Amino acid sequence: MITLRGLTKRYGDTVAVDGLTLDIKEGQVTGFLGPNGAGKSTTMRMILGLDNPTEGEALIHGKPYSALRHPVREVGALLEAKALHPARSARNHLLSMARTNGIPARRVDEVLETVGLTKVARKRAGGFSLGMYQRLGVAGALLGDPGVLIFDEPVNGLDPDGVRWVRELVRSLAAEGRTVFLSSHLMSEMQLTADQLVVIGRGRLLADARIADLLAQSSRAGVRLRSPQPEGLRALAEKLTAGADVEVEMVGGDEIVVSGRSVEEVGDLAHELGVRLHTLSPVSASLEQAYMELTAESVEYGTASAVFGAQPPVRKAKV
């Protein structure tokens, strides 16, 4: 498990990470989201002892990274895929890591096969594509068979088959009881991969929640109703909008979408008013929609929403 307690990093007057406190648990994939400049990479670097926190602490199984006796066997990380000598072959790069950490050479061949680089194992890494670099970086993270894995944007440069491979790999690692901490800007992929989400903005924690809970709290989540009784549907809409934090969108003469009430609440009210329904179904928000609402005030390089026709958030997710 990874434990952060009041983790803070300042660079002069700039606060990159601001008092993060959370537990990243084993047996699940924890997604790490935030706008550019939110402090994600700085947080990961502090967990791995590459940056020292100004305040607070980052612990792995109760210890700072620097206190781990065999760090490569306890923590595997991919932060920068190209952080290796380009003249070395993929196999020699991993072999040097193995020898300096007391890992048998056979493990090198095992992880090369796992990431699909066996055929190019003896080629110089300098001629690799970005996707091949990413696979080699994943191999390095897996080399010590660690219980904690940290991946920063591991699907960059991968084709769709490679993206699916990373998804299946990290989920299988979590299923084995390992701690998997994964950042990505691909919302659709994160929605398929992660169990838990940690969202930060301007260095501060905005959310630490299960994906289903985060989506349910989005203002885009709601209930869709369709009725052959237009007058009854309008009466139902008027009754619903009398309540706080409820919005009703008229989709057509026979259909509305309600935000801020559950399916059960809307169904019960329709029954009380005697409105016959042909459709009563939940409307789910996408992770992208929930994320955009949550981070709307934390984007460092914002653009005018009118350019893209974006709608401002109705209400912030409560986490």
| Predicted confidence (pLDDT) per residue in 277-301, tens digit | 999 988 877 788 888 888 888 766 5
In this structure, the answer to whether residues 171 and 42 fall within a common structural domain is yes
In this structure, the answer to whether residues 128 and 56 fall within a common structural domain is yes
- The number of folded domains in the chain is 2
| Predicted confidence (pLDDT) per residue in 202-239, tens digit | 999 999 999 888 887 776 778 889 999 999 998 998 88
In this structure, the answer to whether residues 58 and 119 fall within a common structural domain is yes
In this structure, the answer to whether residues 234 and 149 fall within a common structural domain is no
What is the rounded average pLDDT of the residues 254-272?
88
Q: What is the pLDDT confidence band of residue 253, given thresholds at 50, 70 and 90?
A: confident
- CA dist., res. 150 & res. 44, Å (int): 8
Q: Is residue 305 part of a domain?
A: no
Q: Quote the domain boundaries for residue 273.
A: 222-283
What is the CATH number for 251?
Answer: 3.30.70
* Global confidence as pTM: 0.79
Scanning the chain, the segments in alpha helix (DSSP H) are 40-47, 71-74, 90-100, 105-114, 130-142, 160-175, 187-193, 211-216, 230-241, 263-273, 287-294, 305-308
Q: Which pLDDT does position 86 carry in this prediction?
A: 87
In this structure, the answer to whether residues 24 and 138 fall within a common structural domain is yes
In this structure, the answer to whether residues 23 and 43 fall within a common structural domain is yes
In this structure, the answer to whether residues 152 and 260 fall within a common structural domain is no
Average pLDDT, the chain: 88
In this structure, the answer to whether residues 234 and 161 fall within a common structural domain is no
What is the CATH number for 83?
Answer: 3.40.50.300
In this structure, the answer to whether residues 237 and 94 fall within a common structural domain is no
Q: Is residue 94 part of a domain?
A: yes
Picking from 213, 239, 268, the residue at the C-terminal end of a domain is 213
Q: Is residue 313 part of a domain?
A: no
Sequence-distant (6+) residues with CB within 8 A of 92 are none
CB 97 within 8 A of CB 103: yes
Structure tokens at 36: 């550019």
Q: Is residue 149 part of a domain?
A: yes
Picking from 162, 180, 213, the residue at the C-terminal end of a domain is 213
